[in-house]
Amino acid sequence: MATQPTARMSEEEYLAQERAAECRSEYINGHVYLMAGASWRHVRIVRNILAELHQLLRGTGCQSFAIDLRVRVAPTRMYTYPDLGIICGQPRFADDQQDTLLNPTVLIEVLSDSTRSYDRGEKFAHYRRLESLRDYLMIEPDAPHVEHYRRLEDASWNLREYDGLEAVVTLASAGCELALSRIYEDLDPAKE
């Protein structure tokens, strides 16, 4: 995410601009922020997770999505593009364009040097306002490490960290387990 907003506009103006734009941007309470591109390693991790989730979620009533589906956090007037997510049940959209999701169950961000603090801090603060959200994963790109926040019954969040390729993240809300060996498949940190 850019550190400075590029413009101030209404939600309607943002959506009209975004639907015609070649580059993606986030919208937070009237401010538009241009989004930076992703590294090759980042893209490969997203690909690995999406492929694995597609297999794991088959026939479960949940489905995965990646990168280009916008998510709206209505209470904070935020529109954003998480790296990946899972929807369990019927997806709800902001309008008939069906390009702005309202009810993700799981959101996943692959961290980078430019987004790490934002993804852990301000972005997660926005995400926590989504009533549908049950799990939030942050994936380290350079080592097998995942931070998993899970919403508890009292609406508080519990953190569990996973390290090493033998670790497996349990996503009870989606009824699946995601192995770190699959997230980091074909990625050798020593060679990149």
DSSP state letters, 30-83: TEEEEPPP--HHHHHHHHHHHHHHHHHTTTTTEEEEESSSEEEEGGGTEEE--S
Q: Does pLDDT of 35 surpass 90? A: no
pLDDT band at 192 (very low <50, low <70, confident <90, very high): very low
Residue 142 lies in a domain: yes
Instruction: Please give the pLDDT value at position 164.
Output: 96
For residue 141, the enclosing domain spans 38-191
Residue 21 lies in a domain: no
Residue 6 lies in a domain: no
| Number of structural domains in the chain | 1
Residues in contact with 80: Cβ distance below 8 Å, sequence separation at least 6, in sequence order:
26, 27, 70, 71, 73, 123, 126
Tell me the three state secondary structure of residue 136: strand
Residue 71 lies in a domain: yes
User: Where is pLDDT greater, at 4 or 182?
Assistant: 182
The CATH number given to whatever domain includes residue 46 is: 3.90.1570.10
Q: Does pLDDT of 38 surpass 90? A: no
Conformation bin of residue 143: beta by default, left when phi > 0, alpha when psi is -120 to 50: beta
